[in-house]
Structure 1
Amino acid sequence: MSIACGGVYFTWVSPSLPRLTSDDSPIGTTITLEEGSWIASSAFLGGILGSLIGGILMTKIGPKQCILSSSIPYFAGWIIIILTKSPVMIIVAQGIGGIGSGISLSILPIYVSEIGDKDIRGKLGVLGMALVNTSNFIVLAFGPFVSYAALALLCSTFPLVFLITFYFVPESPYYLVKIGKKDAAMSNLRRLASGNVDEKNIRLNLEEIENTIQYDIENGTTLKELLTKENYRKSLLMVMGIKLLRAFNGTPAIDAYKQTIIESSNSMISPGISSIIFGLVPILAALICAICIDKIGRKLLITVAALICAVGLVAEGAYFYLQETNMDITSLSWLPTAGLSIYLFCNTVGVATLSNIIVGEMFATSIKGIAVPFFSIISSIVNFTVLKFYEPLSDVWGRYTVFWIFATVCILGALFVLLVLPETKGKSFIEIQRKLNKKSENI
C-alpha cells in the first residue's frame, strides 16, 4: 500500500495533465508544456530527499515506523493539490508526495526481505506490485470520467487506508533483535509463520537472525566502502544495470504520458477506454509474474519480457513515424493502444516489478541499509532525467525516435541480464553473496 500511494502520484499525471494543459484548465490557468514536464517529474526530485530521510530514520525508529511515516508527505501532497490553483504549488505538492515515495522505496525492499522466507520473497514483492497496479487502475479508470478535484480527493484516500492498515503489521524481527527485544522478535516470527508454528524452526530462525546481526555489527560498512570494496563490486554492477534499464526503457515517461500519447496518436480506441485498458493490463501481468517468479526465476523473466517490450516499443515508434510522414494509417489506428499494452504487460512481468526485488536480494545484510537508500536516490535521479526530457526530446526528434531509443535500451538490457545477472530464485542472502563473490574469503 505504501508503494501504491507513491505510484498514484505518478499515475495521476496521465489523466490530469491533458486537462491542465487545455484551454479549459480546472485550476483556471492553462499550464505550459514546461510546467507540465515539471509536474510530471518533480515527484522524483522529492524521492531523492525521501530516500535520504528513509536511510536516516530506519536506523533510529526501525523499518516499520519509517515506512509508516511516509503516509504524512503522501497525504500532505494531495491536500495541497486539492486546494491550490497555482501550477507552482502543484509542482511542490508532487515533490512532497515524492518524499513519501522515496522513504517507501528506500526501506520496503529491506523490510520485505527481512520478514519473508527465501521461498516466497519473490511472490511477496510481486503481489505488492499487483496492489500498486490495482491502485493505478482505479486512477486510470476513474480519471478520464471524473472531475480534476474528485480524482485528487480519491487519491488522497490511499495514504489514509495505508496508515490504518499498516499500523497493525509486525515489525522486522531483525530490527527487534538489533535493539535487544529478543522476546518481541520471537513473537513476531511466530506471527509471521501464519499458523505453521514450529518452535524448533522459530528458534533456528532467531539464531540465524542473531548471527546475521552480529556479523553486521562486526562488519559495519560505509557508503565509501560500498562504492570501493571489491566484495560489493558485482552487486553494484548488477543493481545499477537493472536500475538504468528500468528508467531508460521508458517506464517513468510512458507511465506519466500514457493518455497524452494516445490523444496525439488519433487511435481508434478513445483515450478514456485506452486508460482503462492500461490500468487492467499491469494487474494481469503482476498476477502472472507472481505465479511464475519462484518457478521460472528472475533472470529468464526479465530477459524475455525486455525483448518483448522492445517489440511493442518498435511498433509504437513505427506508427508515429508513419503518422509524421503523413501516410494513411487508418487501418493501423488500433496499434498505439496495442503497442503500449504489450509494453506495459511485459514491463510489469519483468523489469518494473523485479527491479525492486533484486535490490533487496543482491546485497549482504551488513550493507543493505546503505545500499538500498543509495540506489533509491540513483533511481530518482535517472527517472527524473527521463521524465523531464521526454517531451522536449519528442518535440525535437519526434516521438518515434524516443520510442526507438527505449526499445534499444530494452534489447541491451536483456543482453545484460542474460550474460551478467545471476539467478537468485530460492537462494538465501548468504548463498547469493557466495555466488557473487566466489573468490572472496570474507564471505
Structure 2
Amino acid sequence: MGSAKVQDQGVPSRATQYIAAFIVNLMAFACGFSMGWPSTAIPYLEGPDSPIPLTAEESSWVTSLLCLAAAFTTPFAGLLPDRIGRKKTGYLIAAFLIICWILIIFAENVISLYAARILSGISSVGVFVFAPIYVVEISIDQVRGVLGTFVTILCNSGIAVAYVLGSVLTYEEVCYVNVSLPVIFIALFFWLPETPKYLVYSGKIEEAKKSLQWFRGNSYDITAELNEIKLSFATKDSLSPTLSFKEMFTSKVTIRGLFIVLVLGANQQLSGIYPVLSYTVTIFRESGSDISPNLSAIIVGFLLVFGNIIAIFLVERAGRRILLITSNSIMAISLISIGAFFYLKHIEADVSSIGWLPVTSLSIYVIAQSIGVGPLLYTVLTEIISPKMRYIANTMCISLVWFLAFLGAKFFINIADLIGVYSTYWIFSVCCFIAMLIIIFQLPETKGKSLDEIAKALEGKCKKRHNTYDLPNI
C-alpha cells in the first residue's frame, strides 16, 4: 500500500484494468465464435457428406435456438453475479460452453445439436450479463467507456474468426478450436481477483482492499476510492436489486434510464444487423460481385472488428452520444441505398452501372453499426442504470435484444418474401432514424462522468459542460 496522502493519491494503473477486461471478454470471443459457427457449418450439415443431414427447417432452428435460449434464460443469468459472485459466474458460463461443444463433437442426431445450441445460448447471455458488470466494477471513470466496448469487439472478432477458420478447417477441427476457447479463458481468469464492489457487498473488506489495490497498482492510494465503495454499498440492499415497484415507476432517473437502455437494445437489433449479415452473400451475389460467399462473409466479419477498433479510440474522445447519433444516421442512409438497389431490381430496371452501390453501402453500414449502436449499448447500460436497478434493466434489455435477434434469424426470410426484401431494409432505416431522434432528446453524454453526475444529468439538473447538453425533463 502506498504511503501517499489521500489528496496525493498517485496515478492508478490502467494496464491491469485492460488486461482484466481482455481476459474476462475472452468468453465474449468464444461466444462470438459460436454465433458465427452456423455460417459455414450449416452448408456442410445440409450437404451430402454431413454426419447429421439437416433439412432447411432444422437448420433454421440450429441457427436461431441460441438466441431463443438466451432470451428466456436472461432473468436467471442476471441473478447469478449477485448470488454467487462474478468469479463463479464466469466459471459457470465457461462450463456450459465446454459442454455445448462436447455435445456437438459427439452428436449423432439433430436433437444433440439443438441441446448444444441451447447451452450455447445460455452461455452467451451469461457473458453479456457478467462481463459488463465485472468490467464496470473494476474500471476508473477515464477508461470505463473503452473497456465497456471490449465485449462487443471480442464477440465480433469471434464471429470473424469463425468465418475464416470455417472456410479453411474441417468441421471437426473447428469444433475442437471452439471447445478449447473456454478452457483457455478458465486458465487465465483463475488469476484475476473478484471485483472490489462485490467483496465489499459480501463483507470481505480486507479482500476488497487487496483486489482494488491489484487493479489500481501498488503506487496508488486506494483509501478514498475504497471508502466511496463502502459508502455506496453500505448494506447488502445497495447491491441487490431491491427497488420496489413504486420506487421503480416514480423515480424520474429510473424511468428515464430504463427507457433509454430499452431503446438502445431495440435499436441494436431493429437496425437489422442480424438479417443484413445473414443476407451478406445475397447482397454480394445480386450486385454482380465475383467475390465468393465465404470471402464475402469474412470481409464483413472483419469490417465489424475494424469498426469496433475505431470505436475504442473514439468512445472517450467523441463520447457515447455523438457516436450513437452518427452511427444511426449513417446506417439509415446505407439501408435506404441497399433497399433502393433491390427495389430497382424488383421493377427490372437496369442496375448494371450501380452494382457497386449495395456492396459499398453494406460495408459502410457494418462499420457504422460497429462504432456505435453495436458496442455502446452495454457501456451505456452500466453507466446510466443504478446498482439497485441494474439487474432488472440488464434482464429486460438483454432479453429484448436476444428475442429480437431470434425473430430476425427465424422469420426474416419469410417477411422479406411477403413484402419484398427492399421494404425490410427501408423499415430498418426508419427504425434507425427514430432511435436517433430519441437519443438526441433523451440521452445525456456520459463520457468521463461519475455515476452520480450521470444520475444528475438524467434528472435534467446537469449544467452544460463541454459536449454535454441540458436535457428536457420527461
Q: CA separation in 2, counterparts of 1:262 and 1:85?
A: 35
- Describe how 1:378-393 pairs up with structure 2 within 5 A: 378-393=400-415
Per the alignment, do residues 210 and 304 of structure 1 end up closer, same or farther by CA in structure 2, a change over 3 Å counting? Answer: same
Are 1:422 and 2:422 an aligned pair? no
Partner in structure 2 of residue 348 of structure 1: 370
Q: CA separation in 2, counterparts of 1:376 and 1:226?
A: 22
- Residue type at the aligned position of 1:372: N
Partner in structure 1 of residue 232 of structure 2: 212
Are 1:15 and 2:15 an aligned pair? no
- Residue type at the aligned position of 1:229: T
Q: Is the 8 A contact 1:45 1:384 kept in 2?
A: yes
- Describe how 1:173-188 pairs up with structure 2 within 5 A: 173-188=196-211
SS in 2 for 1:120: helix
Q: CA separation in 2, counterparts of 1:24 and 1:227?
A: 56
Per the alignment, do residues 249 and 284 of structure 1 end up closer, same or farther by CA in structure 2, a change over 3 Å counting? Answer: same
Q: CA separation in 2, counterparts of 1:157 and 1:261?
A: 34
* TM-score under structure 2 length normalisation: 0.85
Are 1:323 and 2:348 an aligned pair? no
Q: Is the 8 A contact 2:325 2:440 kept in 1?
A: yes
Q: CA separation in 1, counterparts of 2:279 and 2:39?
A: 5
Q: Is the 8 A contact 1:67 1:107 kept in 2?
A: yes
Q: CA separation in 1, counterparts of 2:108 and 2:322?
A: 48
Per the alignment, do residues 280 and 70 of structure 1 end up closer, same or farther by CA in structure 2, a change over 3 Å counting? Answer: same
Partner in structure 2 of residue 140 of structure 1: 163
Q: CA separation in 1, counterparts of 2:82 and 2:44?
A: 43
RMSD: 2.4
Gaps spanning 5+ residues in structure 2: where? 1-25, 462-474
Partner in structure 2 of residue 29 of structure 1: 53
SS in 1 for 2:290: coil
Per the alignment, do residues 223 and 94 of structure 1 end up closer, same or farther by CA in structure 2, a change over 3 Å counting? Answer: farther
- Residue type at the aligned position of 1:44: C
Say which of 234, 252, 262 aligns to 2:274.
Answer: 252
Q: CA separation in 2, counterparts of 1:326 and 1:401?
A: 16
Q: Is the 8 A contact 2:151 2:375 kept in 1?
A: no
Shift of 1:191: 0.9
* TM-score under structure 1 length normalisation: 0.90
Which protein has the bigger helix share? 1
Shift of 1:149: 2.8
Shift of 1:358: 0.9
SS in 1 for 2:412: helix
Per the alignment, do residues 287 and 396 of structure 1 end up closer, same or farther by CA in structure 2, a change over 3 Å counting? Answer: same
Shift of 1:134: 2.4
Aligned residues: 435
Gaps spanning 5+ residues in structure 1: where? none
- Residue type at the aligned position of 1:380: W
- Residue type at the aligned position of 1:10: M
CA deviations on 1:6-40 (whole Å, 9 max, x unpaired) are 2222222223334444x4362452421x3333222
- Residue type at the aligned position of 1:8: F
Per the alignment, do residues 289 and 176 of structure 1 end up closer, same or farther by CA in structure 2, a change over 3 Å counting? Answer: same
Q: Is the 8 A contact 1:127 1:287 kept in 2?
A: no
Is 256-265 or 204-213 further displaced after alignment?
256-265
Are 1:432 and 2:457 an aligned pair? no
Q: How many percent identity over aligned positions?
A: 28
Shift of 1:338: 2.6
Q: CA separation in 1, counterparts of 2:107 and 2:288?
A: 32
Q: CA separation in 2, counterparts of 1:129 and 1:312?
A: 21
Q: Is the 8 A contact 1:37 1:391 kept in 2?
A: no
SS in 2 for 1:119: helix
Is 402-411 or 355-364 further displaced after alignment?
402-411
Shift of 1:79: 2.1
Shift of 1:5: 1.9
CA deviations on 1:289-345 (whole Å, 9 max, x unpaired) are 111111110010011111111222222222333333444434444444332221111
- Residue type at the aligned position of 1:78: W
Q: Is the 8 A contact 2:131 2:151 kept in 1?
A: no
Say which of 113, 131, 144 aligns to 2:136.
Answer: 113
Q: Is the 8 A contact 1:13 1:256 kept in 2?
A: no
Q: CA separation in 1, counterparts of 2:75 and 2:171?
A: 32
Q: CA separation in 1, counterparts of 2:33 and 2:282?
A: 17
Q: CA separation in 2, counterparts of 1:85 and 1:144?
A: 23
SS in 2 for 1:352: coil
Q: Is the 8 A contact 1:40 1:256 kept in 2?
A: no
